[in-house]
Amino acid sequence: MDRLAILERLNAEAPSLRAKYGVKSLAVFGSMARGDDHEGSDVDVLVAFEGPANFDDFMGLKLDLEDLLGRRVDLGTPETLRPEMRAEVQRDLIHVP
C-alpha cells in the first residue's frame, strides 16, 4: 500500500478508531509523511487520546492500524516524544481529519 492509499485508509477508518479507542487525534509522521518511505517502511503514527491512555487501548489501536495498513506501525503519543525529536516530528505531521 503506497502513501496515498495509507492516508486514504486512515481517513476512512478514523471515525471508527476514534469511537472504539477514544482517539482525539491521529497524525502520520516520519518517512511516510515525507514521502521517502519504501516498501518495507513502517508507518509512524502520533495519537492523542481523549482521556488517559491505557495499555489495552494503545495496543489495540496499534494492532488494528497494522491490520488496516498492512505494515508495521510505530505508535507514539505527544507525551512520549523525546524532546530532541519533537521539532522534526512536528515538521512532518500529516493530520488525519
Question: Residue type for 31, please?
Answer: S
Known catalytic residues? 42, 44
Q: List beta partners, residue 28.
A: 45, 94
**CA of 67: how far to CAs of 11, 35, 52, 63, 79, in Å?**
15, 21, 24, 6, 25
d(CA 40, CA 64): 18
Q: Which helix (H) or strand (E) holds 67?
A: helix 55-69
